[in-house]
């Protein structure tokens, strides 16, 4: 009997660590991981709201599969209308009232800048933000704020290199959003042109997110002699600008738009003829491109779209898998964090990615981060709309 008691005791001690609860900060438990997000679900940038809903759809799939290491994801997204003061208000609510473990995927440059000091002072991860802002990401000064998509500086570099190589005599008109989103594109683009900027750039025009129309700015650039239009714009303004270029500069004008504006949701209403010839960048497989029809990752993606993505967003999801990729990356970080779901460990894991493969990224593009590099994606490929679909141009360019 004594031997049985000792064996049972030792067995219980051996089983103890396996049954012990994880190490948690607010927002995590044995059963749940609470994630916060703010997005422009209303207002002038609400056309992007499908991105947030696709993130939520991915997390629903993960929950249906048993969650992350057995924990379900509680994804709470609040509407900030792309208004920085509202972003601050809703972020504080998510952290202080809803007690989220981390903020993830928040949309926008000015909105993320507005909450960066608060989240860093609270040591709450501001992880995989939905912006490529160059000014936002500063690992040394703001170690709790990490990007995801390639930097706007890289996108601008790709545009500039292409124009210099293929259209060295271009007369460039630059149209940009009058905030950090615009300047984070504009300044690196002009710098990449180097001394050629003095002769190639014939005009610049800005717009505010609240402007009802932007046609007058495009007319002014056309009047300055522009035949190449670099539109550092997004959402409604980007669509209006593309339309105005086609109306006032003609079908042969060369147009560049950032990847943030290249979705079907933004450009679709213009019709294929106006979008034909527009150039942008990408890092992901296009699920609607027949070239990827037999790709296993694309097949799996299409099953997810059909089953989980809301009907009104399925066409948008067919044009871009970015939200899917971004959500998959977060789940990978959470998996690697294991049972140590502290905020500090989340950031440690997120800053230690090395050649992580996400199947929907273009071949050769992997996720890489370090304590001094907070942009996981470092390469981009140009693409051109041919009137029916986006076609890749050349090879991926690393920054």
Query: Are residues 182 and 120 part of one domain?
Result: no
Query: Are residues 239 and 137 part of one domain?
Result: no
- Does 6 have pLDDT greater than 50? no
Band of pLDDT at residue 16, cut at 50, 70 and 90 = very low
Has residue 193 been placed in a domain?
yes
Q: What is the average pLDDT across 245-260?
A: 96
Query: Are residues 141 and 158 part of one domain?
Result: no
What's the pLDDT at 103?
Answer: 98
Between 165 and 20, residue with greater pLDDT: 165
Residue 253 CB contacts under 8 Å (≥ 6 apart), including other chains: 226, 227, 228, 229, 245, 246
Has residue 397 been placed in a domain?
no
What's the pLDDT at 319?
Answer: 82
Domain count, the chain: 2
Distance between CA atoms of residues 37 and 54, nearest Å: 13
Query: Are residues 233 and 160 part of one domain?
Result: yes
In the chain, at which residue ranges do the beta strands (DSSP E only) sit? 23-24, 32-39, 72-79, 102-104, 126-127, 172-177, 201-207, 228-232, 254-256, 279-282, 340-341, 379-385, 390-398
* Residue 146 tokens, joined: 């990490």
Residue 87 structural domain: 23-150+299-381
Three-state secondary-structure class, residue 354: coil
- Does 12 have pLDDT greater than 50? no
Query: Are residues 339 and 260 part of one domain?
Result: no
* Residue 284 tokens, joined: 């992901």
pTM for the whole structure: 0.82
Has residue 3 been placed in a domain?
no
Query: Are residues 252 and 217 part of one domain?
Result: yes
pLDDT for 126-135, tens place per residue?
A: 999 999 988 8
pLDDT for 213-229, tens place per residue?
A: 999 999 999 999 999 99
What's the pLDDT at 8?
Answer: 39
Query: Are residues 269 and 313 part of one domain?
Result: no
What's the pLDDT at 4?
Answer: 40
The domain that contains 185 carries what CATH number?
A: 3.40.50.2300
Percent of the chain with pLDDT over 90: 84
Query: Are residues 346 and 274 part of one domain?
Result: no
173 phi and psi angles, rounded to 5 deg: -110, 125
Query: Are residues 62 and 139 part of one domain?
Result: yes
Out of 179-188, 313-322, 348-357, the most confident range is 348-357
Query: Are residues 270 and 194 part of one domain?
Result: yes
Has residue 388 been placed in a domain?
no
What's the pLDDT at 35?
Answer: 98
Query: Are residues 323 and 312 part of one domain?
Result: yes
Q: What is the average pLDDT across 25-50?
A: 95
pLDDT for 301-347, tens place per residue?
A: 999 999 999 999 998 898 889 999 999 999 999 999 999 999 999 99
Band of pLDDT at residue 2, cut at 50, 70 and 90 = very low
pLDDT for 64-88, tens place per residue?
A: 999 999 999 999 999 999 999 999 9
Between 397 and 334, residue with greater pLDDT: 334
What's the pLDDT at 389?
Answer: 87
Q: How far is CA 162 from CA 73, 97, 170, 192, 393, in A?
A: 42, 48, 11, 11, 10
Query: Are residues 91 and 70 part of one domain?
Result: yes
């Amino acid at each position: 009997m004594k031997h049985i008691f000792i064996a049972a005791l030792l067995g219980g001690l051996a089983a103890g660590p396996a049954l012990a609860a994880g190490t948690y900060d607010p927002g995590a438990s044995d059963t749940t991981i609470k994630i916060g997000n703010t997005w422009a679900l209303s207002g002038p940038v609400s056309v992007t709201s499908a991105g947030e809903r696709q993130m939520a759809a991915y997390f629903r799939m993960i929950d249906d599969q048993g969650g992350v290491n057995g924990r379900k994801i509680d994804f709470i997204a609040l509407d900030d209308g792309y208004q920085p003061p509202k972003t601050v208000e809703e972020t504080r609510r998510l952290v202080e009232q809803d007690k989220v473990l981390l903020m993830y995927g928040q949309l926008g440059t000015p909105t993320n800048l507005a909450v960066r000091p608060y989240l860093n002072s609270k040591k709450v991860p501001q992880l995989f933000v939905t912006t490529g802002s160059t000014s936002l990401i500063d690992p040394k000064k703001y170690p709790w704020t990490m990007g995801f998509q390639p930097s706007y500086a890289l996108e601008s570099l790709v545009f500039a290199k292409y124009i210099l190589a293929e259209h060295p005599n271009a007369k460039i008109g630059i149209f940009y959003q009058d905030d950090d989103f615009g300047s984070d594109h504009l300044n690196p683009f002009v710098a990449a042109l180097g001394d050629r900027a003095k002769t190639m750039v014939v005009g610049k025009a800005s717009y505010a997110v609240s402007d009802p129309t932007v046609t007058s700015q495009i007319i002014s650039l056309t009047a300055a002699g522009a035949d190449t239009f670099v539109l550092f714009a997004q959402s409604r303004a980007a669509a209006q600008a593309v339309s105005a270029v086609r109306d006032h500069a003609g079908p042969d004008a060369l147009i560049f738009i950032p990847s943030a504006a290249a979705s079907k949701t933004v450009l679709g209403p213009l019709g294929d003829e106006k979008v034909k010839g527009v150039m942008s960048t990408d890092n992901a497989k296009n699920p609607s491109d027949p070239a990827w029809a037999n790709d296993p990752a694309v097949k799996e993606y299409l099953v997810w779209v059909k089953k989980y993505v809301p009907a009104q967003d399925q066409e948008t999801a067919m044009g871009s898998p970015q939200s899917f990729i971004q959500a998959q990356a977060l789940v990978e970080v959470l998996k690697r964090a294991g049972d140590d779901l502290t905020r500090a460990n989340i950031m440690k894991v997120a800053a230690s990615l090395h050649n992580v493969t996400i199947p929907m990224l273009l071949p050769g593009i992997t996720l890489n981060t370090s304590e001094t590099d907070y942009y996981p994606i470092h390469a981009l490929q140009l693409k051109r709309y041919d009137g029916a679909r986006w076609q890749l141009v050349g090879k991926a360019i690393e920054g």
